Structure 1
Amino acid sequence: MLLRSKLGPVRAWPETLTDMRRNKTDYLGLTLKPYCRVRDQRGSPRPYYRLRDVADFIEAARAIAPPMAARSYMVDVDAGDRRIWTQRVFDRSELHVGP
């Protein structure tokens, strides 16, 4: 959650962290490894990351590339339109950049 809020929605972070533990991927050439394993309530070992390590990772990633800003769009929708969402397609000209 912290990685997504600080670095943006550029990846599926849980899967990325799993791949980092397996040495299959990195983020901008950086990797974040767990500090230890702790057993959860069911007895399964779960990776735990130190907050300092996560903060250092975020700082290093931001130094390489600034986070992506989320962009919101506003659309004027006809209240009488009863089509399902997959059939309501808007052109770029109908989209208004939100605040």
Structure 2
Amino acid sequence: MVKVINEDNFDSEVLASGKTCLIDFFAEWCGPCKMMAPIIHEIADEMPDVTVGKVDVDEAGELAMQFGIMSIPTILVFKNGEIAETFIGLTDKESIVNALK
């Protein structure tokens, strides 16, 4: 399941969760983001121990600014509340899955 992440639940779902988290910063109007969406959903289905979330940069602009998101899609992998990996632009599933292990 892919969770909707915003300023209200980011700390509890990501930083304080103690889990490995994949957070996809996207926008509805972004073509490459739409191409990444099926990959994000596949990872969520295949890796139930990982928290997978999406942040709409148009609705959660402060969160995007907090992490210096300059282009989308940007995927951040968090481990123990810290950024462990950053992917900018279209990224293959294998690279993302390897970063989550």
TM-score, normalised by the number of residues in structure 1: 0.29
Q: Based on CA coordinates, which of the two structures has the bigger radius of gyration? A: 1
Higher relative contact order (CA 8 A, sep 6+): 2
